[in-house]
A and B are shown apart, each in its own frame.
Chain A
Amino acid sequence: MHDALIVVVLLLVAAAATGAVLQRDPARQAVVLSALGLTLAVLFTVLQAPDVGLAQLAVGSAVTPLMILLTVRKVRRKGRRE
């Protein structure tokens, strides 16, 4: 049962990673990255690594996408005003 769960979450991670690469629009990519962070956090929890899962949840699905979105906003704002 546990093994099957691990397999499912692993496949989700691979899918999210592939999706994050294929999504070429950076703002949408940030959302997919956030989802990748979430699936990784679940994977780590399933692999009995709650410490890492917690860190991944805070960084991978919150701080990193937030920084990407702020960068997108800055770059777009500049582009609009030109």
Chain B
Amino acid sequence: MTRRLRLWVLTAGLLATAALYVAACTDLPAFGGSWHPYGDRAVRAALQQHTANAVSSVNFDQRAFDTLGEETVLFSSVLGTVVLLRRTRGEKRVAPGPAEVPAALRRYGLLVLPVTLLIGLYVIAHGQLSPGGGFQGGVVVATSLHLLYIAVDYKALERIRPLGLFELADGTGEAAYILLGAAGLIAGSAYLANTLPLGTFNTLSSGGTVPLLNAAVGVEVTSAVVVLLAHFLGQALEIESEDGAKDGGREA
């Protein structure tokens, strides 16, 4: 299709979609209204389950099956990326040399790293009490480890990042979520039912299975993001084609 024709088709489609969407918006309830039936029920259910952060209650209790699907999407895409970014025939790994890092940047990085790591762990641990949880904290923890690459060099990052271990943790986090769900079945209730004692409202151990599922997600997300970034870093810094001129491909 020529660029011109594509632009025509695209413009027609965009205009029609815009018209449809704008017409729909005029029928929407006004922004900021007070009618949220599902939300109100979810808040009541969260309080009844002694979970102070209602979002965590929806994520890990009321709609925990969505989160299982979401974790599986993340898990699958990590596995998919590992498969797609594998070292293929005709490629070799080249260790990147040590990098010169300005002393100020190094000091700053090494100072910030443990702080970020702690913040991440705190965010995971308090998922049922305050904003945040396994997902947000997991990403922060995984990203904080990569400050080592900025502050020192790639080799230093590789030393604290045994990939095999993180892949094991990735699978374990996913399996733990599934098995915690099965615990509800074994206890005689439904899959992913919150059958543990609910504890005292607003304490770390409140919410029944919520903190456990939250922790499983934290483990999975941390290791998933580490493995994901490791493969992108590996492609960008390490993997080169063997003939040095071209990366495999049709000519190979």
A interface residues, how many (CB within 8 angstroms): 19
Q: Given B56, B225, B244, which contacts A63 in the complex, CB threshold below 8 Å?
A: B225
Chain B residues, CB < 8 A from A58: 136, 139-140, 143
- Judge whether B236 and A70 touch: CB under 8 Å: yes
Chain A residues, CB < 8 A from B123: 54
- Judge whether B136 and A70 touch: CB under 8 Å: no
Question: Which residue of B is nearest A52, CB measured?
Answer: B55
Chain A residues, CB < 8 A from B143: 58, 62-63
Q: At the interface, is chain A mostly helix, strand, loop or mixed?
A: helix
- Judge whether B133 and A74 touch: CB under 8 Å: no
**A66 touches B (CB below 8 Å):** yes
Question: Which residue of B is nearest A53, CB measured?
Answer: B131
Chain A residues, CB < 8 A from B146: 66
- Judge whether A78 and B247 touch: CB under 8 Å: yes
**A24 touches B (CB below 8 Å):** no
- Judge whether B229 and A67 touch: CB under 8 Å: yes
Chain B residues, CB < 8 A from A71: 232, 236
**B75 touches A (CB below 8 Å):** no
State how many angstroms separate the Cβ of B60 from the closest Cβ of chain A.
12
Kindly state the separation between the CA atoms of A70 and B228 in the bound complex, as whole angstroms: 12
- Judge whether B236 and A81 touch: CB under 8 Å: no
Give residues 68-89 of B contacting A (CB, 8 Å).
none
Residues of A with Cβ closer than 8 Å to B? 50-51, 53-55, 58-59, 62-63, 66-67, 70-71, 73-74, 77-78, 81-82
Known: A50-B132, A51-B133, A74-B235. 11 other contacts (CB 8 A): A50-B131, A54-B136, A55-B139, A58-B140, A58-B143, A62-B143, A63-B139, A66-B146, A71-B236, A77-B236, A78-B247
